[in-house]
Amino acid sequence: MIYSIKARYIEEKMGEFYRKLTDGTIQNQKPDGQEIVNSMKRAKITEPGMIQWSEMCFCPTPLKHERETIYNHFLNDMETETIDNYIEFDGEPFFDFLEKQFKN
């Protein structure tokens, strides 16, 4: 299934999130690490402190494994909605936002 997701990011944990997104920690997670990284590269900041993205997941509960292993550590107030295909949201690219603050 493909989902549209909206979540509030935890500002003080974004440095750690960026590091894990770029050092292979998340990418190497099986079975969903690469999709998480790709999803965060698609995510957009749609309002202050809030990101939206679309993501494919095969869990019976939407994003169950992704939440347990990654998202619940860095995001709050997640809302999911089933959609037919990936969506491109308007806003500042979340990954660009992270790079500007934490790359170095």
- 51: closest CA among 39, 61, 63, 62? 39
What pTM was estimated for this model as a whole?
Answer: 0.94
What pLDDT is recorded for position 103? Answer: 84
Helix and strand numbers, DSSP H then E, in the chain: 5, 5
What are the mean pLDDT values of the chain's consecutive 10-residue runs (104 residues total)?
Answer: 97 98 97 96 98 94 95 98 96 97 85
> Containing domain of residue 70, as a range?
2-102
What pLDDT is recorded for position 7? Answer: 98
Map residue 69 onto helix, strand or coil.
helix
What pLDDT is recorded for position 8? Answer: 98
What pLDDT is recorded for position 27? Answer: 97
Pairing of strands 75-83, 50-56: unpaired
What residue has token string 């494919």? 56
What pLDDT is recorded for position 66? Answer: 96
What pLDDT is recorded for position 60? Answer: 86
Q: Count structural domains, the chain.
A: 1
